[in-house]
Every structure is written in structure tokens, then in C-alpha cells.
Amino acid sequence: MAPVLFELSEVSLSRGGRQVLDSISARIPVGATAVVGPSGSGKSTLLRLLNRLADPDSGAITYRGRPLGEHDPLELRRQVSLVPQLPALIGGTVGSNLRYAAELAGTEPDLDRDLRLAGLDPGFADRDITALSVGEQQRAMLARSLVQRPSVLLLDEPTSALDETARNAIEATLAELRRELDISMVIVSHDPGQARRLSDWVIRVERGRAVGCGSAAEVLA
């Protein structure tokens, strides 16, 4: 197993009287990890804990060996960047979104590079976000995250809103990203096939519990 990125110990969380995560213990190594399971099983909630958009009610999570609570949440979110299931760009152009993200992270934006890595032509920088398809918006969200030079990408159902052709194209982009950048990914997916194609390590979640954790070959066999 590759070095551990995140380690979850007995992590539980309830919302509105419902147990969303129930005593989950799992390791997420460097590389690509898929969190799979049916809709409503707690996968997206688990992902949100990893960059502290939410905190668990009980249990502990470490990132690179240090408790998550000891990391500055703002710094953590730039290192561990979450791309949500549905695009949520700020009004304006694709370029203004990328420049905003760069400003927050204190990085020098290289729009051509980041758009290309996300599978978009550099000409998209001047496009208004309202003129983009959902697939293009999703790629713009990915480019916006990449601008911050994160070391981990958290991808919440990155292709759920897309047709098969667009899904294949995004998967190819993500595979290409892994080849080009030293970046880890945690991908939430309800599709075991996608998990098999994109990840080395898999956590299977059902009804808020981790029912499988291991190599993709083992868990998805």
C-alpha cells in the first residue's frame, strides 16, 4: 500500500436525527481512491469531511499523519480541493473564476495550462460561464481547483450530470491529470465500473458504514 494520506478512525456523523456515517474506519493512500456505494449511503458526506467543509460528531481523521483539526481549514482546502457534484461557478468569465481561485491561494495563474489540463481550449478563459454546457462548467470547476496547485483532488460524482460521451472524456482527462501531475484523487462514484477505471484503492460504503476497504481488484472483484 502507498503512503497513507487520510486515516479515518470510528468516524460518525448524524444530521437531522439520521445517522449518515456510522463508525467508519478506513485508510486513503496516496494515488487514486474511489468511494463507492449506492445513493444516500454517505459517500459525499465522507468527502466533505476530508477538507473540513464539515466535522464529524465523533471519531478522528488525520491528513498526512496530523489530526485534521490541527490544519488551518483555509490552507487545508487549498491543498485538498473539492470539486462538487454540480458546478457552482461565480458569475463572470471562466478566466475570472480561475484568477479568483489563484488570488485566494496566492498562486500565479497559468490559465492556458490549467484549462488544457482540465480538457478545455485556452479560448474558454474569456467565455461567460452562462454560455457553457454543464460538462464545460464541470471542467471549468476542475481548472479552477487546479489553479491552486492542490496535492489532493476530491471529486464528488464528477460525471453524474453528463452523458456517456462526456463522461468518457472527463474520465480520460482525470487519467491524464494523474499522469501529468503529482496529484492524488478521492473520487466519489455510484458506478463500480468508473471506480475500476479510475482508481487503485476502493472504499465501499453502505448505509453509512464502510463495508469494504482495499485495492480496487479486491473490493470490486
Partner 1 sequence: MSSSIQVSIGHVAASLVLVAVAIAVSRWRRAELEQDIAVATIRSLIQLTAIGYAIELIFEADTIWLVLALLAVMVLFGAITARARARKVPDAFVTLLIALTTAGAATLGLVVALGIFDPTPRYLVPVGGMVIGNAMTASAVALNRLGDEIGDSRAMIEATLSLGATAQEAAAPIVRRALRSGMIALVDSTKTTGLIFFPGTMVGMLLAGADPTDAVRLQLILLYSLLGSVAISALVATTLSYRNFFTPAQQLRDRA
Q: Mark 152-191 with x for binding to partner 1 (rule: CB under 8 A) and - for no binding.
A: ----------------------------------------
Q: State the minimum distance, in angstroms, from the CB of residue 48 to partner 1.
A: 8
Among 104, 131, 211, 217, binds partner 1 (CB under 8 A): 104
Asked if 86 is part of the footprint of partner 1 (rule: CB under 8 A), the reply reads yes
Asked if 90 is part of the footprint of partner 1 (rule: CB under 8 A), the reply reads yes
> How would DSSP label each residue in the chain?
-PPEEEEEEEEEEEETTEEEEEEEEEEEESSEEEEE--TTSSHHHHHHHHTTSS--SEEEEEETTEEGGGS-HHHHHHHEEEE-SS--PPSSBHHHHHHHHHHHHTPPP-HHHHHHHTT--GGGGGSBGGGS-HHHHHHHHHHHHHHT--SEEEEESTTTTS-HHHHHHHHHHHHHHHHHS--EEEEEES-HHHHHHH-SEEEEEETTEEEEEEEHHHHT-
Asked if 82 is part of the footprint of partner 1 (rule: CB under 8 A), the reply reads yes
Side-chain-facing half-sphere of 162: CA atoms under 13 Å: 21
Asked if 132 is part of the footprint of partner 1 (rule: CB under 8 A), the reply reads no
Among 35, 101, 111, 210, binds partner 1 (CB under 8 A): 101
Count residues near partner 1 (CB under 8 A).
27
CB-based burial label for 110 (10 Å; 0-12, 13-18, 19+): middle
Q: Which of 157/204 has CB closer to partner 1?
A: 157
Among 43, 52, 116, 204, binds partner 1 (CB under 8 A): 52
Q: Which of 2/86 has CB closer to partner 1?
A: 86
Asked if 84 is part of the footprint of partner 1 (rule: CB under 8 A), the reply reads yes
Asked if 57 is part of the footprint of partner 1 (rule: CB under 8 A), the reply reads no
Q: Which of 101/205 has CB closer to partner 1?
A: 101
Q: Which chain residues interact with partner 1 by CB under 8 A?
A: 15-16, 51-55, 73-75, 77-78, 81-82, 84, 86, 88-90, 100-101, 104-105, 141, 144-145, 148
